[in-house]
Amino acid sequence: MENERVKAALVVLGLREEASVTEIRAAYLTKTTHRNFQEVILADEHLEKEFVKYYKSYITLLKHYSESESEDLSYYPPDQIVRFHFNQGLYYLINQDYMKAMEKFQIAHNIDKKDVLVLLYMGILLIKRKNYYAAEKYFLDAIKIDKENFDAWYYLGETYLKAEELRKALNMFDTARNLNPSRKEVSFKVRELKAKLAARTPAAKKPSFLTRLFKKS
Q: Of 62, 81, 112, which one is at a domain's C-terminal end?
A: 112
Classified as helix, coil or strand, 146 is coil
Q: Are 29 and 106 part of one and the same domain?
A: yes
Establish if 61 belongs to a structural domain. Answer: yes
Establish if 29 belongs to a structural domain. Answer: yes
pLDDT at 46 over 90: yes
Establish if 119 belongs to a structural domain. Answer: no
At residue 37 the predicted structure's pLDDT band, cuts being 50, 70 and 90, is: very high
- Count of domains forming the chain: 2
Q: Are 107 and 3 part of one and the same domain?
A: yes
At residue 215 the predicted structure's pLDDT band, cuts being 50, 70 and 90, is: low
Mean pLDDT (whole number) for 54-83: 87
- For residue 199, the model assigns a pLDDT of 86
- For residue 147, the model assigns a pLDDT of 97
Establish if 212 belongs to a structural domain. Answer: no
Please provide the average confidence, as pLDDT, over all residues in the chain: 91
Structural domain of residue 146, as residue ranges? 132-203
At residue 58 the predicted structure's pLDDT band, cuts being 50, 70 and 90, is: very high
Mean pLDDT (whole number) for 53-68: 90
Q: Are 107 and 139 part of one and the same domain?
A: no
pLDDT digits (tens, 9 = 90+) for 200-214: 766 555 555 445 544
Segment (H or E) for 162: helix 150-162
Q: Are 99 and 193 part of one and the same domain?
A: no
- For residue 125, the model assigns a pLDDT of 97
- For residue 206, the model assigns a pLDDT of 57
Q: Are 108 and 144 part of one and the same domain?
A: no
**CATH number for 138:** 1.25.40.10
Q: Are 105 and 23 part of one and the same domain?
A: yes
Buried b (16+ CB within 10 A) or exposed e, 117-132: bbbbbbbbbbbeeeeb
Mean pLDDT (whole number) for 24-47: 95
Q: Are 147 and 55 part of one and the same domain?
A: no
Determine what percent of the chain is predicted with pLDDT higher than 90: 80
Q: Are 137 and 101 part of one and the same domain?
A: no
- For residue 207, the model assigns a pLDDT of 59
At residue 3 the predicted structure's pLDDT band, cuts being 50, 70 and 90, is: confident
- For residue 205, the model assigns a pLDDT of 55
Establish if 210 belongs to a structural domain. Answer: no
Q: Are 77 and 13 part of one and the same domain?
A: yes
pLDDT digits (tens, 9 = 90+) for 114-152: 999 999 999 999 999 999 999 999 999 999 999 999 999
Q: Of 49, 78, 112, which one is at a domain's C-terminal end?
A: 112
Establish if 73 belongs to a structural domain. Answer: yes
- For residue 71, the model assigns a pLDDT of 67
Q: Are 11 and 98 part of one and the same domain?
A: yes
Establish if 177 belongs to a structural domain. Answer: yes
The amino acid at 173? F
Q: Are 31 and 103 part of one and the same domain?
A: yes
Quote the CA–CA distance of 87 and 76 in Å, as a whole number. Answer: 15
Q: Are 82 and 145 part of one and the same domain?
A: no
Establish if 151 belongs to a structural domain. Answer: yes
Quote the CA–CA distance of 49 and 65 in Å, as a whole number. Answer: 24
Burial class (CB in 10 A: 0-12, 13-18, 19+), 106: middle
